[in-house]
Chains A and B, each alone.
Chain A
Amino acid sequence: MTPLLSVEHLTMRFGGLVAVDDVSFDAPASKITAVIGPNGAGKTTVFNCLTGFYKPTSGCMRLRHPRHGEFLLERMEGHAIPAKAGVARTFQNIRLFTGMSVLENLLIAQHNALMRASGYTIGALLGVGGYAAAERRAIDRARYWLDRVQLTDRADANAGNLPYGAQRRIEIVRAMCTEPVMLCLDEPAAGLNARESAELNELLRFIRDEHRVTLLLIEHDMSVVMEISDHVVVLDYGRKISEGTPAAVRNDDKVIRAYLGVEEAEEEAQP
């Protein structure tokens, strides 16, 4: 089975600093791929390249959209990646529209579909075209996702007034409202307690199994990574040092060394 996303020889340089150095990996379709590594390993940089926030120095990111064909993400503009290639993302520090209601947040995620339905505003202003129906459908979709994360009763509240854990969930379902084929989550479990973490795992599994969305996640919380990911990529100092199933990665010497450090004598013994 061909992977949904193939990253080939991705390199990102900031001046003299090589943040990502010749990284290649695949993200299998409808599976959860975790990207892990110590702080500063280049995980978020890979994400920013994938979602168009950085233009990579070199390399190629190939996304095979099941309906729209193949996209080369490094050649696309930032806003076109979610709109056309169907790659959505969340952020390490939550980025909700805090002054707007939860429901509005979820409707903005459906902006492009609604714009088309509103005849690029002109139709809806003149009252022609089925904008009202399209908006109702958009609200139904938002309601579906809010039901899924048990936040339906807070739909009209200001997003910024919600507790932290709820904001995390809103950000994920907001990304899901763009109807992505791939969802990139940057540390979704950061700052969640054990119960919320478990709920998050539940939600991510649901997204993978019911919506057949491919997930790519950066995570420090190993309980999340080991429990839900199907495939793990380990980065250290911008390089890929290991890749495989969670169990295989956990027992990889290089990974253990990267996380726990090595004694000097051991390091010298290394070739």
Chain B
Amino acid sequence: MRASTVPQLPFDWPRALKDAGMVAGVVVLLAIALLGFRIQDTSGGPPLAYRFDDVVAVALIAFLGRLGIAALRAQRAVPVLVGALVFAIALTAALVLGADEQQLFFRSTGLNGTIALAAWILSARAAWLVWHAASETSAELREARMDRLSAQVQRWSGWVGPLLLGLAVALPFLPWIDRRLLDIATLVATYIMLGWGLNIVVGLAGLLDLGYVAFYAVGAYSYALLALHFDLGFWLCLPFAGIMAAFAGILLGFPVLRLRGDYLAIVTLGFGEIVRIILLNWYKFTNGPDGLSGIPRPTFFGLPMVRDAPEGGHSFHSFFGLEYAPIDRVIFLYYLAIALALVTNLFTLRIRKLPIGRAWEALREDETACRSLGVHPRNTKLTAFAIGAMFGGFGGSFFATRQGFISPESFTFLESAIILAIVVLGGMGSQIGVVLAAILLIGLPEVFRDLNQYRMLAFGVAMVVIMTWRPRGLLAHREPTVRLGHGPPEERHEGPHA
């Protein structure tokens, strides 16, 4: 697939078969543990069910698929097209017509569907190759094309942003939106906000932070504890939670100032775990693994979203003279999440154009050069940590008020990893990219919950695919923060030549 070779090379059958066989072997090794056994909880029967037919099926699919890809690389598109198309049509037809599950490859419709999709993609690729017989694109060309696309998206962001925002605002009133989808949208908005917050630390300042969830936790517990002990409302606690999280950011920032890259990542990872373990063990203060419950819900300018208005006051629906509807609160929380995310976004967009934002980016590029220009590396890093953490804290208090219950279990390393994945996948420093990645990583798995145990597998596969296909992230394109207004805007692709 690299470099456009002479169209008809002799197809190396033994090599292709050997390669496909090895892939199938690896798949068998992996699949025996993942697919081969299934624990049954039926009483009386054997504890394990064996599903070696699934293993064989998956190995066969891997073998054929690999062979197909090898043939595609050797420009043998027509047989692959025919084979993949027949396979895809047959499988899809079987799925659509509702064939007996036992006769298909796997017992899960979701998996069979995934395989059918893969076959469709393979046949589409083959068809593409047949269509453009000789004009194979190289990896560089593809990369350049994606770069142009992301540059285009950046240029469109003038109207894409408002469009997305309009869609987000209109979302609760779309006809096919139910409570579940709205909950997912709220979750996605929370992760978009967290992604934008972490983007300040990782994308702009280039400090790889694997413990971002610690600030999320600090924000959540700050709000919960303040609300429960001092009876303060959400809106009063929100800034406090942000300040506490920012303080935690500075606390983390100081010892790791001299560390770079991997070392920094390890220390921040440790910090995330330390915070979680403190929350778990400091029983008197945080209620340990039992968590904190009864966290007050946010009010709409002092109007609580409840059925029965408090003594001598109004609740949201009685004040506006509406029927009480439980969905109102969900919609309100959704708008709150959107508003918080929007604040994060506007803040980031603004600060990127200020000297501190430029200094963060310069620090990411070259710390030594920064020092030689009089940029204070310590203060600059600390502000990045503190501001990133502050938004994590806002996100945390929103999480606490939405759930009404928090426990250390919500703040595991996996959360940090997902937020980081959103930032990296979206393209470091790209605001729209974060939105796209959050929808991909949070929204889709929630929608496809039916895939249950394969959800994380699909997540991993998606990450690997994107990292090999586009290592700098989906929409990695940087626009200068300030322009002199000379020269053509598109100057990325000329290599450095002396």
Footprint of B on A, CB under 8 Å?
51-53, 78-83, 88-89, 91, 95-101, 103-104, 107-109, 111-112, 114-115, 118, 121, 124-125, 131, 135, 139, 142-143, 146, 152-158, 160-165, 174-175, 178, 191
* Contact indicator A104/B481 (Cβ below 8 Å): yes
Contacts of A164 in B (CB 8 A): 496, 498
Closest to A108 in B: B362
Contacts of B480 in A (CB 8 A): 100-101, 103-104, 156
Closest to B356 in A: A121
Question: Is B73 among interface residues, defined by CB-CB distance under 8 A?
Answer: no
Contacts of A91 in B (CB 8 A): 368-369, 372
Footprint of A on B, CB under 8 Å?
347, 350-351, 354-356, 358-359, 361-362, 364-366, 368-377, 383, 478, 480-487, 489, 491-492, 494-498
Contacts of A154 in B (CB 8 A): 486-487
A175 to B374, CA, bound (A): 10
* Contact indicator B486/A153 (Cβ below 8 Å): yes
Contacts of B362 in A (CB 8 A): 97, 100, 104, 108, 111
A135 to B361, CA, bound (A): 17
Contacts of A89 in B (CB 8 A): 372
The listed residue with most B CB atoms (<10 A of its CB), out of A79, A91, A142, is: A79
Question: Would you mind naming 22 contact pairs between A and B with Cβ atoms under 8 Å apart?
Answer: A79-B374, A88-B372, A97-B365, A97-B366, A99-B478, A100-B358, A100-B361, A104-B362, A107-B358, A107-B482, A111-B375, A121-B351, A121-B354, A124-B354, A146-B484, A153-B487, A155-B483, A156-B483, A156-B486, A157-B487, A158-B491, A163-B498
B494 contacts which of A153, A155, A156, A161 (Cβ < 8 Å)?
A: A161
* Contact indicator A108/B484 (Cβ below 8 Å): no
Contacts of A80 in B (CB 8 A): 374
Contacts of B359 in A (CB 8 A): 108, 111
* Contact indicator B498/A111 (Cβ below 8 Å): no
A124 to B350, CA, bound (A): 9
| Pairs of residues from A and B, 5 with the lowest C-beta to C-beta distance, nearest first | A83-B374, A101-B480, A82-B374, A155-B484, A97-B365
Closest CB-CB distance, B17 to chain A, in whole Å? 45
The listed residue with most A CB atoms (<10 A of its CB), out of B350, B368, B369, B480, is: B369
B interface SS class? loop
Closest CB-CB distance, A144 to chain B, in whole Å? 12
* Contact indicator A97/B482 (Cβ below 8 Å): no
B372 contacts which of A82, A135, A157, A158 (Cβ < 8 Å)?
A: A82
Closest to B355 in A: A114
* Contact indicator B484/A156 (Cβ below 8 Å): yes
Contacts of A99 in B (CB 8 A): 361, 364-365, 478
Contacts of A143 in B (CB 8 A): 484
A164 to B498, CA, bound (A): 5
Interface contacts (Cβ under 8 Å), in number, total 145
Contacts of A82 in B (CB 8 A): 372-374
* Contact indicator A135/B482 (Cβ below 8 Å): yes
A178 contacts which of B347, B374, B376 (Cβ < 8 Å)?
A: B374
Contacts of A152 in B (CB 8 A): 484, 486
* Contact indicator B496/A100 (Cβ below 8 Å): no
A99-B365, A154-B487 known; A178+B373 contact, CB < 8 A? yes
* Contact indicator A191/B498 (Cβ below 8 Å): yes
Contacts of A78 in B (CB 8 A): 371-372
* Contact indicator B376/A125 (Cβ below 8 Å): no
Closest CB-CB distance, A120 to chain B, in whole Å? 8
A88 to B371, CA, bound (A): 10
Closest CB-CB distance, B358 to chain A, in whole Å? 6
* Extra contacts besides A83-B374, A104-B358 (7): CB < 8 Å: A79-B376, A109-B373, A111-B358, A111-B359, A112-B374, A143-B484, A155-B486
Contacts of B350 in A (CB 8 A): 125
A155 to B487, CA, bound (A): 8
B355 contacts which of A81, A121, A142 (Cβ < 8 Å)?
A: A121
A81 to B485, CA, bound (A): 33
Closest CB-CB distance, B183 to chain A, in whole Å? 33
* Contact indicator A98/B365 (Cβ below 8 Å): yes
* Contact indicator B374/A103 (Cβ below 8 Å): no
Contacts of B491 in A (CB 8 A): 156-158, 161
A107 contacts which of B355, B376, B496 (Cβ < 8 Å)?
A: B355
Closest to B495 in A: A161
A95 to B359, CA, bound (A): 15
Closest CB-CB distance, A101 to chain B, in whole Å? 4
Contacts of A114 in B (CB 8 A): 355
A142 to B481, CA, bound (A): 15
A79 to B372, CA, bound (A): 6
Closest CB-CB distance, B347 to chain A, in whole Å? 8
A146 to B484, CA, bound (A): 11
* Contact indicator B485/A156 (Cβ below 8 Å): yes
A143 to B487, CA, bound (A): 14
B492 contacts which of A52, A103, A158 (Cβ < 8 Å)?
A: A158
A96-B369, A111-B375, A155-B484 known; A125+B354 contact, CB < 8 A? yes
Contacts of B365 in A (CB 8 A): 97-100
Closest CB-CB distance, A106 to chain B, in whole Å? 10
Contacts of B374 in A (CB 8 A): 79-83, 109, 111-112, 178
